[in-house]
Amino acid sequence: MTGTQIDHLIQLLAKLPGLGPRSARRAALHLINRKESLLRPLAEAMAQAADTVAPCEICGNLDSVQPCAICRDPRRESSIICVVESVADLWALERSAVFRGRYHILGGTLSALDGIGPEDLNVGALIARASEAVVGEVILATNATVDGQTTAHFLAEKLAGCEVQVSGLAHGVPVGGELDYLDDGTLATALSARRPV
């Protein structure tokens, strides 16, 4: 019915989270009607991101530089590592602007149902980092879900051998909630009031 190239564009846009077939059609028209101001810049930004963005080899954060901007920032404390499930959670914590240490991205949680074990997560590198003399504290900031808390307990046991204090996020994180959906104030409170586990 429509041009095959437009159809192709709509089909790909419909694969984005939050866009269905109808909103993908709207988005395609919106883009084509704004060729120079939006369509071309977005195509270039995507091609550039595909070429340059990769997981940081230290922490797993996504960035176009290696190591990532947070790992290479000398103003950030190297003594604290905050362990999060995903890059989205790192972004949520950065928006709260309270934490000034480093991060470690697990890449998920342990999950018996989905068959995800410790070997599927970025755990070995975390233990190695926590064993470095400069690191004094590891904050386990996994989500307050069953899988997230199971993972935190597993990591706390693993980290018992390292000479670090292990802490978790404090009150403020609603049970069953996910970090990426919290408001910045709640996240800031939870970070400031963190407690040993």
Q: How far is the CB of 103 from a second copy (least distance, A)?
A: 11
- State the burial class of residue 191 (Cβ atoms within 10 Å of its Cβ: 0-12, 13-18, 19+): buried
**What tokens does 178 get?**
């996910």
Q: Which is nearer to a second copy, 67 or 136 (CB)?
A: 67
CA 44/CA 100 separation, integer angstroms: 32
Q: How far is the CB of 65 from a second copy (least distance, A)?
A: 7
Query: Contact residues for a second copy (CB under 8 A)?
Result: 1-6, 8-9, 12-13, 15-19, 22-23, 25-32, 35, 38-50, 52-53, 62-65, 68-69, 86-88, 91, 94-95, 180
Q: How many residues does the chain have?
A: 197
CA 170/CA 186 separation, integer angstroms: 10
Q: Which is nearer to a second copy, 41 or 174 (CB)?
A: 41
- Angle (CA) 33-38-44 rounded to 5° is 130
Q: How far is the CB of 115 from a second copy (least distance, A)?
A: 19
CA 49/CA 63 separation, integer angstroms: 9
- Residue 152 three-state SS: helix
Q: Which is nearer to a second copy, 46 or 193 (CB)?
A: 46
- Residue 112 three-state SS: coil
Q: Which is nearer to a second copy, 43 or 128 (CB)?
A: 43
146's CB contacts (< 8 A; 6+ apart) are none
Q: Which is nearer to a second copy, 45 or 193 (CB)?
A: 45
Q: How far is the CB of 111 from a second copy (least distance, A)?
A: 18
Q: How far is the CB of 82 from a second copy (least distance, A)?
A: 14
